Amino acid sequence: MAGLRGPYRPRAHRFTPREPEPEPQDPEVLARQALERSLNAAKRALKIKRARYSLRDFIELMWPDPEFPENVDRSLFDCEPHHRILIDMVEAIEKRTLMRAGCSMPPQHGKSLILSRFGLAWILGRNPHWRVLFATYADTLADTRGDELRSVLEAKTFREVFPKAALKKGSRSKGEMVFEAGGSINLVGRGSGATGRPCDLFIIDDPYKDDQEASSDTIRESIRNWYSAVAQMRCPVFAPILIVHTRWHEDDLLGWLADPEHPANRGNPDRAKRWKYVNLPSPVSDPDLAQALGLQVGDALWPKRFPLHHIQEIRENAGPRIFAALYLGQPAPEDGDFFKAEHIKTYAPFELPKSLRIYAASDHSVSEKERSDYTCMMLVGVCENNLVWVLPDLFWENGKAAASDLVVEKMLDMAKKRPPLWWRAGRDHITKAVGPFLRKRMRERNIFINMIEEPENGDKRRKAQAIQARMSAGGVLFPAGAPWLMRARSEMLKFPHGKHDDFVDCLSLIGRGLVTLHGAAKPEAANDDDRPKVGTFGWVKWAAKQDSMASAWRIRLGSM
């Protein structure tokens, strides 16, 4: 066609497909959906209101089922009976009807979830003006706890429940969060300088990293000193204190504070009564606790998640010591760790042989650090069969009864009644405690003891290996009727994790001294013994020579 440029190309028509018309829905379905949305909204509003006063409702609201996020009746938190005990504890702390509380329970049973995460957030939401101090064994763990707590405090649901508990803008530190209402939360590692700040609530969660730390005398003492400086100097009388940790040692923080049998509390029973300590073991062994939980004695604490067969598998793999600490809340297993219950054998009085060689040892409490410890002195007899018979003549006291002058007189009384061939004690103990006075009284009373001073340093387990070997072979016998036997048995079974080891240390001295010595001569050969009369200067010289020879043999045998 004239006037056209190029061939004719018809313009393509643009076609936009029409959206399909929505199918009309049944009015009844629409009405039911609207009613369901209104009901869920009403339930949520009620749950938000209840969460301000109930920790359980708060946790259920903050931890919804991801498949049904709008349904407040569906939650990932399934409140078990032992959870209710922890919830009651947190609520009592917030109300300040419970001022001193301690808790131990198995791992992965909800302790950190209820106490350290949602419980702490709930307390802060209700009291955004409080200054809270949260401490654990390391700054890195404190930072982790801080991240978990911040995720709760900054959640939309939390702001709905506690609109007045808003964090200040710019408060981004993991270890410190400040509220607009004036309060704050500081999360620190133990011993941190931040603990010098005043606080309205003090929470300690796991001050010991593991068994090795809890078994260290130095670390346990440093934690006690740190706690005293914070609790006594920074917490006013109205500030609650909550301590949660695994019971690795009888002398740990909870044992030191809340155990009425701890030496620090024996002279002041009201000190331990201030604390409410709750131990939730698995399996449950206490009838009253089982009844409160709706369980039977021997049931698992959380049978839905950790049934008995699973607990038994953990027991087999972990070993008695670790299992007792983690799952039973006991610093030492009932059947013993280093010393076993079946190795503690006894004898009746009529079974004690008449022909015995007598040896003695003592463990003295001499320093300010050991002011609550005991002085233990024992006599043993070794028979012709090389069996060690621990004699009933035992001195085991502390306080005024263990004063140096009284201890010396008791030593001489014991030596007069049953003269020992040697008496072993720690070198520092003799030097600091009884040495000069003992030598003076020996001359005055004409009773002489061949004192052998042992070095103080070294691992206590290694030192006790000699007597442990004898006991495991059935070579050590204890007097069945002795009033101190049950106490000694308890200490041996808990060694080396118990509060005390005076008896064990004393027994260890005996074991090391008997490594190369022999038992008593046979009765018919006893009269042929031409050694000097016991108790004379000649006898002391002879006994020292015998011990020197024994020491030389120990060195040659590599037993020192």
For 129, the token pair is 């003006």
Cβ distance 158 to 179 under 8 Å?
no
Q: Is 133 helix (H, G, I), strand (E, B) or coil?
A: strand
Cβ distance 279 to 247 under 8 Å?
yes
270 pLDDT tier (thresholds 50, 70, 90):
confident
Q: Identify the weakest region by mean pLDDT among 243-257, 391-405, 496-510.
A: 391-405
Cβ distance 61 to 77 under 8 Å?
no
d(CA 131, CA 133): 7
d(CA 244, CA 330): 14
Q: Provide mean pLDDT across the span 501-510.
A: 92
Q: Which helix (H) or strand (E) holds 278?
A: strand 276-279
526 pLDDT tier (thresholds 50, 70, 90):
very low
Strand partners, 345: 477
Please identify which residue in the block is written with the tokens 């060195």: 555
Cβ distance 96 to 126 under 8 Å?
no
For 464, the token pair is 């006790």
Output 430 or 372, whichever has higher pLDDT. 430
d(CA 515, CA 559): 8
Average pLDDT, the chain: 84
> Which residue type is seen at 179?
F
Pairing of strands 131-136, 201-205: parallel
Provide the residue count of the chain. Answer: 560
**pLDDT (0 to 100) of residue 525:** 43
Please identify which residue in the block is written with the tokens 């919804």: 64
The 10 Å Cβ neighbour count of residue 348 is 9
Is pLDDT of 2 > 50? no
557 pLDDT tier (thresholds 50, 70, 90):
very low
d(CA 249, CA 211): 8
Cβ distance 122 to 130 under 8 Å?
no
**Burial of 461 from C-beta contacts in 10 A (0-12 / 13-18 / 19+):** middle
**pLDDT (0 to 100) of residue 66:** 87
**Which residues are CB-neighbours of 370 under 8 A, at least 6 positions away?**
none
Tell me: the pLDDT tens digits for 295-311?
A: 998 999 999 999 999 99
d(CA 496, CA 220): 14
Tell me: the pLDDT tens digits for 45-97?
A: 999 999 999 999 999 999 998 888 888 888 899 999 999 999 999 999 999 99
530 pLDDT tier (thresholds 50, 70, 90):
low
Nearest to 467 by CA among 499, 495, 490: 495
Q: Provide mean pLDDT across the span 237-255.
A: 91
Tell me: the pLDDT tens digits for 160-219?
A: 999 999 999 876 677 889 999 999 999 988 877 655 568 899 999 999 998 888 888 889
Q: Which helix (H) or strand (E) holds 361?
A: strand 357-363
Q: What is the 3-state secondary structure (H, E, C) of 381-438?
A: EECCCCCEEEEEEEEEECHHHHCHHHHHHHHHHHHHHCCCCCEEEEHHHHHHHHHHHH
Is pLDDT of 519 > 60? no
Q: Which helix (H) or strand (E) holds 90?
A: helix 81-95
Cβ distance 455 to 512 under 8 Å?
no
The backbone region for 5, taken as left when phi is positive above 0, alpha when psi lies in -120 to 50, beta otherwise, is: beta
Question: Interhelix angle for 55-62 vs 81-95, to 10°?
Answer: 120
Pairing of strands 201-205, 100-104: unpaired
> Which residue type is seen at 302?
W
